[in-house]
Amino acid sequence: MCYIFQLAVLALITVLLCVLTILFGLFETHGKQAYRINRFWSWLILRATGISVKVAGLENIDPTHQYIFIANHQSNIDIPVLVQALPQFQLRWLAKKELLRVPFFGWAMWATNHVTVDRSDPQDAVKSLTRAKECLAAGMSLVVFAEGTRSRDGKLQRFKKGGFLLAAETRTQIVPVTVNGSGSLLPVGAWRLRPGTVEVVVEQPVAVEGFRPGNLRVLSSQVRDKIASHLSKPVQSQTQESAQDKDKFVGHQALGNRSV
């Protein structure tokens, strides 16, 4: 009952801050003031739910530069986590256009000038590239969840090429970012946030010179390997462990039968 009340209060605060974000967004081009409200919202959400963020590797990046941050995606709280993990950057997300239809949240995204893509319209990709270039030129960095959706088991999924194409076209360095622990605090399909710590590892920037749309797979693999190198091993369920134990038992039994 206490958690439901807490959730209701957070929902109310979220709506109020979204409205404030929209109002600010109506009077500015790039949504920089509106983003500061987003930053406060993300801090409030994490603080109220007992989630702390531990960051390593900030010394690898220069706050005066613009980057394309490419991260793994485990949970819906990855967004507020990254906002808090990278406080010296004005961040904009490369996201699917359908999110703009979400009441309040989507409208706040519009007000903050995030870059959205209509996946069903190839021509919209060109428009998105133009908007992304404008964001970078205005001093903002972009965040891309290269998997395209949240991982259900914590393992890295196949990377999509959109963020890498964007980096190659704009000649912007890529920063691989690994998020650990968010999936256990708010798994896919869950609605209850659990208190705990999310670890964020920021790698050294990856240069994109020499990469073209035809050889982005090499760049994608390079960035994926860096993210994977810091990714904690997903915790196995009891069912998986039991199945593995059974397989080991059967394997030992088979070896024993062979030696008889």
The confidence band for 234, taking pLDDT boundaries of 50, 70 and 90, is low
- pLDDT value at position 117? 82
Domain assignment present for residue 244? The answer is: no
Question: What would the mean pLDDT of 146-163 be, rounded to a whole number?
Answer: 89
pLDDT digits (tens, 9 = 90+) for 32-87: 888 999 899 999 999 988 999 999 999 999 999 999 999 999 999 999 999 999 99
**247 vs 230, higher pLDDT:** 230
Domain count, the chain: 1
CATH number for the domain that contains residue 229: 3.40.1130.10
85 is a domain residue: yes
Rounded to two decimals, the pTM is 0.82
Within-domain flag for 9: yes
Query: Is 15 within a domain?
Result: yes
What HEC string does the chain produce? CHHHHHHHHHHHHHHHHHHHHHHHHCCCCCCHHHHHHHHHHHHHHHHHCCEEEEEECHHHCCCCCCCEEEECCCCCCHHHHHHHHCCCCCEEEEEEHHHHHCCCHHHHHHHCCCEEECCCCHHHHHHHHHHHHHHHHCCCEEEEECCCCCCCCCCCCCCCCHHHHHHHHHCCCEEEEEEECHHHHCCCCCCCCCCEEEEEEECCCECCCCCCHHHHHHHHHHHHHHHHHCCCCCCCCHHHHHHHHHHHHHHHHHHHHHHC
Does 247 map to a domain?
no
| Residue ranges making up the domain that contains 64 | 2-234
Q: Is pLDDT of 245 > 80?
A: no
